[in-house]
Structure 1
Amino acid sequence: MQRVTIALIFVAVHVSFASAQAPIPSRPDGYGVGGPADSHVVVEMFFDPLCPGCKASWPTVLQVIQAYGTRIHVRIHTFPLPYHTNSFVASQGLHVIANATSRNLDSIFQYATKVFENQAAWYNDATQSMTMPQVVDSLATFVASTGLVTKDKFLAGMAMDDINFETRVSWKYACSRGVLGTPTFFINGVFISADPTWSLNDWKSVIDPILGSNDKISTPVKDCPPNEKECTYAPHKTQCCLAGENCIPNVGCRCFNMKNGNKCA
């Protein structure tokens, strides 16, 4: 009987946990660069600023961004791991930079780059003799030296409950996506086994075929005739609408003239 009771308690706790509603972010989570968020290829990286593997992957991620420009969308999400000392502080710092610079993407990505470059200063045993306020002050002093924001502004952001909560929501969002460690990568919402050993060519071997397949089905139009109107009804998809036709998002040129048998005049 005792075993049955314990089993029922376990099941109840498990079901309760599995059905718990993760907090919904106030806006789509993460920070993206390149093309629009609905590009044919969307690369997502879940990272911990104090993760050595993320540091090793970062230069290649920047190469991918540089190589593809606006042809793809690259989005980063913070996912601080509990066994990397100070990782939550470093992750919150990225959200502070986003808040302090009105989500300036150059500043956000520069912060990630600079922290990766100086990761050893806050990684595990490096701060074992420091208190948490001292760690935060150390990070603030470093950020100020990069010119991203002033030390006072960074410290003020680190003290804001809203930004602390935003960092937690971002972590829970990653959990809802099934992220277990870092770095974790997705392409178009599907997990890919990319790791720090991947080169730019490895990324190209996955991305290029997707872009190529979409290039074949897209219908680019260079110039519409003078009597027709250009209709960009979806990313990278354009048609020329005839007189009387309307440009319908995600559909294309259509004419809705019920008095004329749904034919354009």
Structure 2
Amino acid sequence: MTTLKKNLLAAAVVVAALCVAFGSFLLFAPRDSSSVPTEPAADARPVRDDSHRLTTPQRSELTVVEFLDFECEGCGAVHPTVERLRAEYGDRVTFVARYFPMPGHRNSTTAALAVEAAARQGGFEAMYGKLFATQKEWGEAKESKAALFRTYAADLGLDLARYDAAVKAPATLERVEADQRDGLALGVQGTPTFFVDGVRIQTPGSYEGFKALIDSRLAR
């Protein structure tokens, strides 16, 4: 093996390790380039009126927004931390989840469509939780997992006729892409990416680190 080939192989291993440790990044060549819109939003905002809120405190003191990909291992790894934080701070902090399917993940957009279709029946949080709970069962698959996600919809008691129609509706994909466009315009390059009160932050590496950050902001 030539020195150049050895160096390229070593670099690939390092990049792959970083991807697993910190999430997914746009530097990877997409399998389906249409999974990320090419046009960022002209009036980008970290959160919009129709964004999916995981908590709705009567008096919100802080807003934490996550741009996520349901197939991203980094998002799956940070999910328990987000759940723990919103259980602890849900009466003071608004937690928001926004779609950002990444290129290179075969089922990232499919998963987002499943969640948005569930949301049309008030099942956003249920499907959101289901996909993260089962991520190891379907993540990184090369074949479509749309049929599997449909079984999840059935398990959650959703009306399957309405679910199927929503998955196929152009408006559902448009809703997912609207989040992506905001993310692109705001500089999101990988998942998970968090914004705290509109400011992008470096994702804390632990629950304790994230809790300290929230506590410091709430103390202001």
Shorter-normalised TM range: 0.7 to 0.9
Q: Does 1:113 align with 2:129?
A: yes
Q: How much identity, in percent, do the aligned residues show?
A: 28
Q: Does 1:80 align with 2:101?
A: yes
Q: Return closer, same or farther for 1:35/1:19 CA change in 2, 3 Å cut-off.
A: closer
Q: Identify the residue that residue 33 of structure 2 maps to in structure 1.
A: none
1:145 to 155, 179, 196: 155
Q: Aligned ranges for residues 200-211 of structure 1 at < 5 Å? A: 201-211=208-218
Distance 2:102 2:58 in 1: 26
Where 1:49 maps in the other structure, the secondary structure is coil
The one-letter code sitting in structure 2 at the alignment partner of 1:146 is L
Q: Aligned ranges for residues 46-65 of structure 1 at < 5 Å? A: 46-65=67-86
Q: Aligned ranges for residues 246-261 of structure 1 at < 5 Å? A: none
Q: Aligned ranges for residues 127-142 of structure 1 at < 5 Å? A: 127-128=142-143, 132=144, 135-142=145-152
Following superposition, the deviation at residue 144 of structure 1 comes to 1.0
1:28 to 49, 68, 83: 49
Please list every run of at least 4 consecutive aligned residues from structure 1 whose deviation after the TM superposition is greater than 4 angstroms: 18-21, 35-38
- Give the TM-score normalised by structure 1: 0.61
Distance 1:100 1:84 in 2: 26
Between Structure 1 and Structure 2, whose CA radius of gyration is higher? 1
Q: Identify the residue that residue 186 of structure 2 maps to in structure 1.
A: 177
Alignment check: 8 A CA contact 2:40 2:185 kept: no
Q: Deviations over 1:227-257 (max 9, x none)?
A: xxxxxxxxxxxxxxxxxxxxxxxxxxxxxxx
Q: Identify the residue that residue 198 of structure 2 maps to in structure 1.
A: 189
Following superposition, the deviation at residue 51 of structure 1 comes to 0.7
Following superposition, the deviation at residue 109 of structure 1 comes to 2.0
Q: Return closer, same or farther for 1:21/1:141 CA change in 2, 3 Å cut-off.
A: closer
The one-letter code sitting in structure 2 at the alignment partner of 1:123 is G
Following superposition, the deviation at residue 55 of structure 1 comes to 0.6
Following superposition, the deviation at residue 42 of structure 1 comes to 0.9
1:42 to 49, 54, 63: 63
- Could you tell which deviates more after superposition, 164-173 or 179-188? 164-173
Following superposition, the deviation at residue 37 of structure 1 comes to 9.4
Alignment check: 8 A CA contact 1:47 1:78 kept: yes
Following superposition, the deviation at residue 38 of structure 1 comes to 8.0
Alignment check: 8 A CA contact 2:59 2:92 kept: no
Where 2:120 maps in the other structure, the secondary structure is helix
Q: Return closer, same or farther for 1:23/1:158 CA change in 2, 3 Å cut-off.
A: farther
Q: Return closer, same or farther for 1:85/1:20 CA change in 2, 3 Å cut-off.
A: closer
Following superposition, the deviation at residue 20 of structure 1 comes to 6.9
Q: Identify the residue that residue 163 of structure 1 maps to in structure 2.
A: 172
Instruction: Show structure 2 runs of 5+ residues with no match.
Output: 1-37
The root-mean-square deviation of aligned C-alpha atoms, in Å, is 2.5
Structure number with greater CO (CA < 8 Å, separation at least 6) is 2
Q: Does 1:198 align with 2:206?
A: yes
Q: Return closer, same or farther for 1:37/1:184 CA change in 2, 3 Å cut-off.
A: farther
Q: Identify the residue that residue 114 of structure 2 maps to in structure 1.
A: 93
- Give the TM-score normalised by structure 2: 0.73
Q: Deviations over 1:81-115 (max 9, x none)?
A: 011111001011111111122xxxxx322211111
Alignment check: 8 A CA contact 1:49 1:90 kept: yes
